Amino acid sequence: MLIEVGGKRVIGRKSGRTRRVLLSVLLGVLALVATVCTGASAAAAPQAPAGPVGGGGSHLVIVKMVDYRLLQPAFLPPGRYTFRAINDGRAPHALQINGPGVANARTPVVQAGQAADLTVDLHHGLYDFWCPVGNHRQMGMQLNVFVG
pLDDT (tens digit per residue) in 43-63: 444 444 455 555 568 899 999
> In this structure, are residues 87 and 111 in contact, taking their beta carbons and an 8 Å threshold?
yes
- Kindly list the distances between the CA atom of residue 106 and the CA atoms of 43, 45, 47, 68, 131, in Å, as whole numbers in the listed order: 24, 21, 20, 17, 9
pLDDT (tens digit per residue) in 114-141: 999 999 999 999 999 999 999 999 999 9
